[in-house]
Amino acid sequence: MSVDLTVREALDAAIALARTARRVTILTGAGMSAESGVPTFRDAQTGLWEHFDPTELATPRAWARDKALCNAWYLWRVHLVRSVAPNAGHEAIARWATVPGRDVRIVTQNIDDLHERAGSTVLAHLHGSLFAWRCDICHHPAPTPHAPATPHERLAPDRCKRCAHGDIRPGVVWFEEPLPEAEFDAAIEVCREADLVVVVGTSGIVQPAATLPHLAGARGIPVIEIDPHETLFTEFATVSIRATAAGALPALVDALVATAG
Ligand code: APR
């Protein structure tokens, strides 16, 4: 549906849509945090872990086979995320929510906490969080374990203090695991009930998160895509802004703030 627009034209079209939208749902993926320096899934495969396939590490099977390896890999990512800051895109989204009369809902596939650190409340972390650990047997929540500042190939997981049988695992959704039901239901609802859906930095490859923009599109709700590259959403997006999150979002929100009464 979208036609080829320059970034400026696309931004203007997006600003016009944003001006009239009261209920705004923003869906974010790995590209949202790229300019903060959060390594994407594959970029994280450096150093000690470069010889491991990420899809082999982010599975219940990998955990069962080698908990210390899996634990160390996630704790290294905890350290990496703690050492970076939200970017101008995260900050713009937080500002959007403060525009009078706007109800902005954030649904993210990211397991970092950069939206929260920019001041946003996240409605749904569809793929869990690096900061929500739990027992792998009794599921009782546990504090995030100590994350060393240097990478270790193996770190034995903490033992659950509640049941004393399980090990503390990262609260992320691994391949082959279901999404958290309540969060996915909430995400479906805000995509169906929105006046505008904005999709930022997600390729649209990973299901079922990738179905969400289509729920909006099927109801005639405008969908804005912000991504430097074409994605699986491009074909049906109302407007595609070929720019980065930190480039496009501040310009969009500045224009909105300037005219909001
Ligand atoms: N700003 C906006 N988008 C960007 C930027 C940027 N600075 N840099 C890259 N992108 C875009 C890429 O062009 C791509 O379309 O971000 C998208 C990232 O796509 P994926 O790496 O597939 O990330 P995502 O869609 O979030 O992956 C979904 O897969 O790896 C698993 O569970 C993990 O949550 C993740 C899920």
pLDDT at 99: 96
Atom of ligand 1 nearest to the CA of 35: 7
Q: Ligand 1 pocket, 205 CB below 6 A?
A: yes
Q: Ligand 1 pocket, 115 CB below 6 A?
A: no
Alpha-carbon dihedral 194, 199, 202, 206, rounded to 10 degrees: 20
Domain containing residue 226: CATH number: 3.40.50.1220
pLDDT at 43: 57
Question: Based on the domain organization, do 132 and 20 belong to the same domain?
Answer: no
Question: Based on the domain organization, do 211 and 230 belong to the same domain?
Answer: yes
Q: Ligand 1 pocket, 2 CB below 6 A?
A: no
Domain boundary residue among 172, 201, 225? 172
What is the per-residue pLDDT across 124-183, written as a single tens digit (0 to 9) for each? 999 999 999 999 999 999 999 999 999 898 999 999 999 999 999 999 999 889 999 999
Q: Is the peptide bond before 178 cis (omega within 30 degrees of 0)?
A: no
Domain boundary residue among 112, 142, 172? 172
Give the number of domains in the chain.
2
Question: Based on the domain organization, do 27 and 97 belong to the same domain?
Answer: yes
Query: What mean pLDDT comes out for the span 107-131?
Result: 97
| Tokens encoding 90 | 């995260």
Best residue among 74, 199, 206, 249 to mutate for probing ligand 1, ranked by most atoms within 8 Å of CB: 206
Q: Ligand 1 pocket, 245 CB below 6 A?
A: yes
Question: Based on the domain organization, do 140 and 17 belong to the same domain?
Answer: no
Q: Ligand 1 pocket, 30 CB below 6 A?
A: yes
Question: Based on the domain organization, do 18 and 32 belong to the same domain?
Answer: yes
Question: Based on the domain organization, do 121 and 99 belong to the same domain?
Answer: yes
Question: Based on the domain organization, do 92 and 220 belong to the same domain?
Answer: yes
The answer, yes or no, to whether residue 4 has pLDDT greater than 70, is no
Domain boundary residue among 172, 192, 226? 172
Domain containing residue 132: CATH number: 3.30.1600.10
What is the per-residue pLDDT across 14-32, written as a single tens digit (0 to 9) for each? 999 999 999 999 999 999 9
* 127 catalytic per annotation: yes
Reported as a pLDDT band with limits 50, 70 and 90, residue 259 is: confident
pTM score:
0.94
Q: Which of 79, 90, 127, 214 is catalytic?
A: 127
Question: Based on the domain organization, do 32 and 50 belong to the same domain?
Answer: no
Question: Based on the domain organization, do 61 and 162 belong to the same domain?
Answer: yes
Reported as a pLDDT band with limits 50, 70 and 90, residue 1 is: very low
CB 22 within 8 A of CB 103: yes
Question: Based on the domain organization, do 15 and 111 belong to the same domain?
Answer: yes
Query: What mean pLDDT comes out for the span 230-254?
Result: 96
Domain span at residue 26 reads: 1-38+86-127+179-261
Location of structure tokens 């009930």? 193
Smallest CA-to-CA distance from 108 within 202, 44, 36 is with 202
CB 112 within 8 A of CB 90: no
